[in-house]
């Protein structure tokens, strides 16, 4: 009987993987459902087990089954590892994703699973923390804080109870790596959390998954059930997100797990000192925790050897938007933005010129092609007025209106704001109103109230376009430095980068001031 591998990742299913799998089954094949390989252009993908290895065909549909089975189908890719999208990758974290049956313990073990945990259990907690420090692993959620140092704080905190929390509230548009890993290799995350629990002395962990990810929630729950004895006495449970973007902020996430309104907490105290229910808590992103088994299994050195500057190891980059080869690309830090967009991503899907790339989700900065030399590295991006964030990059062609994108950022902030801090709560609404005026080229005239004779201090002259732009910059400054968390604090990135790199979209340079008369 032929063995066929078809992904059951949510994205693959959306592209028709389920009917493809059924068709193979009807044809008498043994179908193994795996995670996704990560290149959407070749999905739905079928891999046929042969003596030369797994031969891939994609994209293929149910009607292509016989052609695939007899090897005659024109969409024959050959060995997936040899495909140019994959041959350049350094798959440390996503090594098993798309290869194994996600919920098969034997598959997991056969592909190097549990090796990291076994190594860790043979070490003292401090030695495990030291290994993570030596690997140079930094938080993959966006902040880039060294994971080993965070663990050290929790290890050093004396408490009757500690927790490990995995933040899988993946809310940035254009990002999907967390979901792909949870659906494609959940035991990897479990192993990473078990290693963390040993390292810091935690007895219980939570995986906080956003409610929009039903397949990931189901996969995770099943994987936890199947691996319970393997990680005992450590225990895990899934918490389903409260449906708001801000719950992905770690302190709001803590509030949410505690059953309260998902609202950001002021830091300090750090969650590592006073986290969930006031106990020391490790909160890490899915990708940070999933990187840990490799580090323990292969050694910190193996991980740290790859990378650029202070950014060590690999980053699963998610390429999306108007791009030919959208998907997940895991590679060591240092690859340039241009390589990611043009070589790996293959340029725009529309074939038009690239105008802007947003890096780091909806709150990341927009970069013009003139900045494509930037190496993918936390420090380099920060210096250029941007951030890597969760490593989602979204490509836009030359039809994009950047003022509209800036407005979208403010609106996104207004919709997702928890309402706790003033710059975000009021500022995002004012920002939306302000950009509307700027785009409409209608600077604000004095309002009814301001023109009343009682209002001696109010300015009666209308504002100029430049004054409105200045106000937008001031507002961005207040939000960036004044906001309590990254939602309000990062919203200025897309706004200011759009304003800085694409001033023409904001009407600047044009004679708009006559409206002010």
Partner 1 sequence: MTFTREKDFGTPEATGEAVSLTIDGQQVSVPAGTSIMRAAAMVETAIPKLCATDSLESFGSCRMCLVEIEGRKGYPASCTTPVASGMVVRTETDKLRKLRRGVMELYISDHPLDCLTCSANGDCELQDMAGAVGLRDVRFGFEGANHLEGCKDESNPYFTFDPAKCIVCSRCVRACDEVQGTLALTVDGRGFASKISASQGEGFLASECVSCGACVQACPTSALIENTVIEKGTPDRAVVTTCAYCGVGCTFRAEMRGEELVRMVPWKEGKANHGHSCVKGRFAWGYAQHRDRILNPMVRNSVDEPWREVSWDEAIVHVASEFRRIQNSYGTRAIGGITSSRCTNEETFLVQKLIRQGFGNNNVDTCARVCHSPTGYGLKTTFGTSAGTQDFDSVEQADVVLVIGANPTDGHPVFGSRLKKRLREGAKLIVIDPRRIDLVRSPHVEAAHHLPLRPGTNVALLTAMAHVIVTEGLVDETYVRERCDTEAYGEWAAFVSDPARSPEAIEELTGVPAADVCAAARLYATGGNGAIYYGLGVTEHSQGSSTVMAIANLAMATGNVGKPGAGVNPLRGQNNVQGSCDMGSFPHELPGYRHVSDSVARAQFEQDWGVTLDAEPGLRINNMLDAATDGTFKGIFIQGEDILQSDPNTTHVAAGLAAMECVVVQDLFLNETANYAHVFLPGSTFLEKDGTFTNAERRIQRVRKVMEPKNGYADWEVVQLVANAMGLGWTYTHPSQVMNEIARLTPTFAGVTYDVLDQRGSVQWPVNEAAPDGTPTMHIDHFVRGKGLFVVTDYVPTDERTGPRFPLLLTTGRILSQYNVGAQTRRTPNEAWHAEDRLEIHPHDAENRGIRDGDWVALRSRAGETTLRALITDRVAPGVVYTTFHHPDTQANVITTDFSDWATNCPEYKVTAVQVAPSNGPSDWQRRYRAQADQSRRIETAEPAE
Burial class (CB in 10 A: 0-12, 13-18, 19+), 484: buried
Please state whether beta strands 307-308 and 204-209 pair in parallel, antiparallel, or not at all (unpaired).
Answer: unpaired
| Two tokens, residue 515 | 């409206």
| In contact, 195 and 116? CB cutoff 8 Å | yes
Stretch that binds partner 1, among 60-68, 75-83, 398-406, 482-490 (CB under 8 A): 482-490
At closest approach, how far in Å is the CB of 266 from partner 1? 3
Stretch that binds partner 1, among 12-20, 290-298, 328-336, 429-437 (CB under 8 A): 429-437
Q: Which of residues 375-414 bind partner 1 (CB under 8 A)?
A: 414
| In contact, 357 and 337? CB cutoff 8 Å | yes
Q: Is 415 in the site for partner 1 (CB under 8 A)?
A: yes
Q: Is 111 in the site for partner 1 (CB under 8 A)?
A: no
Report the alpha-carbon distance of residue 379 to residue 253 in Å, rounded. Answer: 27
Q: Which of 423, 505, 506, 512 binds partner 1 (CB under 8 A)?
A: 423
> Looking at beta carbons only, is 351 or 453 nearer to partner 1?
453
| In contact, 473 and 499? CB cutoff 8 Å | yes
Q: Is 422 in the site for partner 1 (CB under 8 A)?
A: yes
| Two tokens, residue 263 | 């609202």
Q: Is 21 in the site for partner 1 (CB under 8 A)?
A: no
The count of chain residues that interact with partner 1, using the rule CB under 8 A, is: 45
Stretch that binds partner 1, among 4-12, 216-224, 371-379, 419-427 (CB under 8 A): 419-427
* H helices present in 202-306, as ranges: 214-231, 250-257, 286-298, 300-304
At closest approach, how far in Å is the CB of 427 from partner 1? 6
Stretch that binds partner 1, among 172-180, 227-235, 453-461, 504-512 (CB under 8 A): 453-461
* H helices present in 277-349, as ranges: 286-298, 300-304, 337-338
At closest approach, how far in Å is the CB of 429 from partner 1? 4
> Looking at beta carbons only, is 377 or 416 nearer to partner 1?
416
User: Shortest CA distance to 194 belongs to which of 161, 229, 168, 167?
Assistant: 229
At closest approach, how far in Å is the CB of 381 from partner 1? 16
CA distances from 359 to 231, 311, 313, 435, 506 (A): 36, 16, 19, 22, 21
Stretch that binds partner 1, among 21-29, 50-58, 294-302, 471-479 (CB under 8 A): 471-479
Q: Is 243 in the site for partner 1 (CB under 8 A)?
A: no
The footprint of partner 1 (CB under 8 A) covers 244, 261, 263, 266-268, 414-430, 433-434, 444, 446-450, 457-459, 463, 467, 471, 474-475, 477-478, 481-484
């Amino acid at each position: 009987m032929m063995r066929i591998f078809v992904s059951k990742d949510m994205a693959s299913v959306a592209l028709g993987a389920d009917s493809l799998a059924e068709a193979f089954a009807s044809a008498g094949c043994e179908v193994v459902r795996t995670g996704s390989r990560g290149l959407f252009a070749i999905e739905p993908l079928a891999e046929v087990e042969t003596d030369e290895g797994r031969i891939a065909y994609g994209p293929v549909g149910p009607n292509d089954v016989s052609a695939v089975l007899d090897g005659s189908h024109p969409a024959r890719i050959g060995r997936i590892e040899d495909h140019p999208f994959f041959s350049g990758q350094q798959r440390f974290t996503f090594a098993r994703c798309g290869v194994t049956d996600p919920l098969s313990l034997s598959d997991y073990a056969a592909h190097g699973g549990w090796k990291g945990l076994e190594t860790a259990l043979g070490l003292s907690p401090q030695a495990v923390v030291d290994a993570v420090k030596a690997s140079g692993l930094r938080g993959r959620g966006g902040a880039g804080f060294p994971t080993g140092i965070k663990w050290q704080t929790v290890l050093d905190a004396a408490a009757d109870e500690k927790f490990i929390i995995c933040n899988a509230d993946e809310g940035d548009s254009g990002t999907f790596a967390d979901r792909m890993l949870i659906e494609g290799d959940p035991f990897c995350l479990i192993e990473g959390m078990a290693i963390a629990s040993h390292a810091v002395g935690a007895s219980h962990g939570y995986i906080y998954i956003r409610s929009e990810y039903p397949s990931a929630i189901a996969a995770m729950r099943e994987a936890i059930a199947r691996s319970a004895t393997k990680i005992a006495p450590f225990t895990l449970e899934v918490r389903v997100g409260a449906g708001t973007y801000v719950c992905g902020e770690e302190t709001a996430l803590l509030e949410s797990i505690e059953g309260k309104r998902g609202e950001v907490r002021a830091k300090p105290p750090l969650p590592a000192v006073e986290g969930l229910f006031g106990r020391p808590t490790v909160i890490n992103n899915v990708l940070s925790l999933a990187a840990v088994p490799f580090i323990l299994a292969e050694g910190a050195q193996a991980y740290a050897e790859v990378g650029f500057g202070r950014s060590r190891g690999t980053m699963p980059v998610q390429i999306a938007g108007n791009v030919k080869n959208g998907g997940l690309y895991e590679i060591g830090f240092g690859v340039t933005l241009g390589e990611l967009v043009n070589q790996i991503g293959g340029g725009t899907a529309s074939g038009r010129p690239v105008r802007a790339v947003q890096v780091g989700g909806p709150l990341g900065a927009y970069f013009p092609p003139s900045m494509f030399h930037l190496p993918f590295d936390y420090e380099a991006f920060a210096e250029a007025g941007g951030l890597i964030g969760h490593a989602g990059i979204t490509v836009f062609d030359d039809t994009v209106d950047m003022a509209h994108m800036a407005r979208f950022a403010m609106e996104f902030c207004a919709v997702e704001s928890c309402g706790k801090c003033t710059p975000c709560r009021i500022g995002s609404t004012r920002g939306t109103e302000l950009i509307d005026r700027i785009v409409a080229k209608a600077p604000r005239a004095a309002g009814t109230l301001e023109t009343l004779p009682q209002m001696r201090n109010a300015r009666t002259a209308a504002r100029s376009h430049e004054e409105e732009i200045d106000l937008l910059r001031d507002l961005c400054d207040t939000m960036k430095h004044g906001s309590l968390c990254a939602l309000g604090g990062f919203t200025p990135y897309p706004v200011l980068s759009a304003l800085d790199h694409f001033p023409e979209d904001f009407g600047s340079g044009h004679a708009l001031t006559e409206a002010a008369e």
